[in-house]
Structure 1
Amino acid sequence: MNSIAKILFMCLFYQAAALIPPKFQWKTLDFAWPGSERQSAMSNGTYIAENNMPTGIARWKDKLFITIPRWKKGIPSSLNFVYLNDSQNAPLHPYPNWEEGCLTSNGAAASNRTVVSTFRVHVDRCNRLWVVDNGVTEMSKDVRQITQPSILVFDLKTDALLKKYVFKDDVLRDSSVLTSIAVEIVGKECAKGNAFAYITDMGSNAILVYSMKDDDAWRVENHYFHFDPHAGVYKVGGIDFYWSDGVSSGTLSQPKKDGYCDLYLHPTSSTKQFRMSTKLLRDKDAPKEDIFNGVEIIGDRGPKSQATACDIDPATNVLFYTQVCKNGLGCWNIDKQFNEENTPLILSDCTLMEFPNDVKADREGNLWILSDRQSRFLYEAMDFDQVNFRVLTSPTSTLIQGTACEKKSIFSRLSGSVGKELKSILIRAIKGKILPLVYQ
């Protein structure tokens, strides 16, 4: 093995080792059942282990939230959590509790706090959990609408339901599938409730905007929210399939000088990355022409780079995104130009990361990745003697170290004879200003 190959191997091993072993992994998902209810649930069909597949994660303090959409029968609870200090195959706890996290015996919502079916959730800096609920069961076959699609906002310190907004029919379509939610808090005071939620409607190609302060929602459409016919073919886990999924994930930058954020978004069946200012999204009466011209194409990730989810780490200003067909993770430092050189594949593992479905950056500088073998779950029988679902985690700074996504210091960017001379000048200048102060 030559020296270059050795270096490459060491780099790849170092990056993979940062995520191995998985924080959590399961062959099938099970729950922290009270008493003898597990056996009863298996007998009456309200729990069918093989039908439970996770799609979303979010971390808050000692809890990791895990969502299970009701694709099929036998899902006890859609919104759940595990404790971070629990075992690697930890059982799931329904949220907010067993009584309200599950449906009733006749298939109805147990209370106003019951989440029927959610894909992904968001934890904001105000210690609130934002959930977008599709309100349906058995999505893969005979869809049943249990409750109207809605947004639920929980206070994570008390588990109290702070707000529930039921979407009106005029912002939805018959094909609506609400997948992800990103939240922009306006100002520094959480108590004022001035926040906007941006929900991707993957099924009908739109962004739904919700104003917490006004308790109102509206629909935003753009042709870039639709799928790209050239990016509809997938091959994951040896399975070929075709998807025409529209905009499915969005994440927000830090506020800009004008006080607004940029929403970075993409359709699942696309290789392009888009950006839109929340100044337009927040304006319910924005002219259609402004909306039409308000979405910017910032670049193309390249062939076979479809992504189900993305998130920006505020500590590094790096956007991380899943790479479904590559069983991996990509990144882009949003302060740099979006091109092939600046959007590397930083992780790839056909076993640990088969079908990476969600990625989240927490507020302590850690990245969380969920892989779930979704293509096998939907189109082919899964082998439940193997590990199928994994949660991987690592500090974001470790993942991007040595990659194009790392923000290097001014000294590390300087190289060559000119760089050395500039470094020397800078050091002398700094010493010249600091040392006289020492002797004063």
Structure 2
Amino acid sequence: MKAVFIFSVLLFVFHNSQSLLPPRFQWKILDYAWEGRAREAALTSGAYIPENNMPTGITRWKNKLFITVPRWKKGVPSSLNYIYINGSQTQPLNPYPSWNEAFVSDKSCCISSNSTVVSTFRVHVDKCDRLWVVDNGVADMTNELKQIAAPAIVVFDLNSNRLIHRYVLQDDVLRDSSVLTSIVVDTIGKGCDNTYAYIPDMGSNALIVYSLGANAAWRVENHYFHFDPHSGVYDVGGVQFHWSDGISSVVLVPSKRSSSYRDLYFHPTSSTKQFRMPTSLLRDDRFATENTFNGVQVLGDRGPKSQATACDYDHSHNVIFYTQLSRNGVSCWNLDREMTRENVPLVISDCLILEFPSDIKVDKESNLWVLSNRQSRFLYGSMDFNQVNFRVLTAPVGAVIKGTTCERLSTVERALSFIMRPKSKFT
């Protein structure tokens, strides 16, 4: 009888578009899987200040869930970490790839290993079982900014937990205001060498493109990467603030116009509009600026108060999911439908459990993962560490979108939507 009751509750949760997914993991305060008496030593030295640790990014690989903790403030011992999918709800974070390589003190002058990640926001796992990380290399971002290492792209082999490559980003692709918030990767063909990484620079309104084959990076600027002044005001968790954040999250989607490239869907954080451009314009650093500008399509508007820090794409259902800061939830959009306010429904929402949804990912099994972290309180207000502050929620995509406009269209409906879709000049 108990099992039947639980199943019935889950059915209600999944079919109610305004309901809540039960948290898979949650913490009042973040702690780490310390070795020996290292925790006491870190507390004494200030290398670990529990209240200054806040997670911002997640991604799943097999039995691990990677969790990033940027060095917003002092006392963050490890920025790149993981927990076990089948572990306890409040399990401590394991530094990746190891304590020796992940640990960084705020007093450090530099990194001791190329495998060290100083500070990262969001990470990506590609089809070759590689973990891609963009390291900003800074500590104490809210006070006395300290550049411990040069910004870099760091790539790990997840099967061996070994560093594959570290590429230091040069000054010509960065600006003084650069903030590298995420990374997505496109691996072309059957091998793993022909790979491109796309890195939004939220702080200076640009996109950095990196070619693994050429081992080179270049900067792409575009007016569409900038924030919308009408969408810069936020009110989350009772904290009001203003952000002028530009492009911060992108996803790659198979193109229906060509099999030789994919489409890059992007949006600035402080915006409610959705844009698209072909990666053919981004892979070639010789393309003129006016070509990349003209190659952008404005696809539509998600509606008022729909600013999103992150998004991800589920290929099985052809759906993009968005975190919804001002609405304490998650919305979705079926790419076969026109982007209108009605076609981007809020499928999960809760002002307590999903206060400030920071990151969202879809794994290879089409499970949705959402991280909420009360970031507005962490940065601009105060946190109550006697309460649960950080949560990770998960559910199958099909269950989340059931009964909404994000469900898969029929064959006829998809054909009609493709016919009516605006065509790009670039193929």
Flag whether TM exceeds 0.5 (same fold).
yes
Q: What do you get for the CA RMSD once the two structures are aligned?
A: 1.7
8 Å contact 2:275–2:296 — kept in the other structure?
Answer: yes
1:143 matched to which residue of 2?
A: 145
Aligned partners of 2:287 and 2:349: how far apart in 1? 42
1:128 matched to which residue of 2?
A: 130
Aligned partners of 2:353 and 2:234: how far apart in 1? 19
Unpaired runs of 5+ residues, structure 1, are: 1-9, 414-440
Within-5 A mapping of 1:16-55: 20-55=21-56
| Cα shift readout 1:165-186 (whole Å, capped 9, x = no counterpart) | 1001000000000001111111
Q: How far 1:18 sits from its partner (Å)? A: 8.2
Distance 1:93 1:290, change over 3 A: same
Within-5 A mapping of 1:32-431: 32-103=33-104, 106-107=107-108, 108-190=110-192, 193-256=193-256, 257-409=258-410
Q: How far 1:294 sits from its partner (Å)? A: 1.4
| Cα shift readout 1:210-245 (whole Å, capped 9, x = no counterpart) | 000000000000001011111000000011100000
8 Å contact 1:53–1:68 — kept in the other structure?
Answer: yes
Q: How far 1:255 sits from its partner (Å)? A: 4.8
| Cα shift readout 1:409-440 (whole Å, capped 9, x = no counterpart) | 45999xxxxxxxxxxxxxxxxxxxxxxxxxxx
| Cα shift readout 1:191-211 (whole Å, capped 9, x = no counterpart) | xx1100000000000000000
8 Å contact 1:19–1:392 — kept in the other structure?
Answer: no
Q: Please, which moves more after superposition, 265-274 or 334-343?
A: 334-343
Counting matched residue pairs gives 402
Aligned partners of 1:307 and 1:342: how far apart in 2? 16
8 Å contact 2:13–2:19 — kept in the other structure?
Answer: no
8 Å contact 2:187–2:196 — kept in the other structure?
Answer: yes
2:424 matched to which residue of 1?
A: none
Aligned partners of 1:336 and 1:15: how far apart in 2? 22
Q: How far 1:104 sits from its partner (Å)? A: 5.3
8 Å contact 1:102–1:110 — kept in the other structure?
Answer: no
Aligned partners of 2:271 and 2:349: how far apart in 1? 20
**Identity rate of aligned residues, in percent?**
61
| Paired amino acid for 2:240 | D
8 Å contact 1:18–1:399 — kept in the other structure?
Answer: no
8 Å contact 1:18–1:398 — kept in the other structure?
Answer: no
SS in 2 for 1:50: helix
Distance 1:294 1:57, change over 3 A: same
Aligned partners of 1:62 and 1:169: how far apart in 2? 38
- The structure whose RCO (Cα within 8 Å, separation 6+) is larger is 2
| Paired amino acid for 1:401 | K
SS in 2 for 1:188: coil
1:7 matched to which residue of 2?
A: none
Indicate the structure (1 or 2) with the bigger Cα radius of gyration. 1
SS in 1 for 2:332: strand
Aligned partners of 1:233 and 1:354: how far apart in 2? 16
TM-score normalised to the size of structure 2?
A: 0.91
Unpaired runs of 5+ residues, structure 2, are: 1-10, 415-427
Aligned partners of 1:255 and 1:334: how far apart in 2? 11
SS in 2 for 1:378: helix
8 Å contact 1:41–1:47 — kept in the other structure?
Answer: yes
Q: How far 1:287 sits from its partner (Å)? A: 1.2
Aligned partners of 1:18 and 1:113: how far apart in 2? 41
Q: Give the structure with the higher percent helix.
A: 1
Q: How far 1:14 sits from its partner (Å)? A: 3.5
2:420 matched to which residue of 1?
A: none
Aligned partners of 1:155 and 1:13: how far apart in 2? 35
2:6 matched to which residue of 1?
A: none
8 Å contact 1:99–1:110 — kept in the other structure?
Answer: no
| Paired amino acid for 1:217 | A
Q: How far 1:276 sits from its partner (Å)? A: 1.0
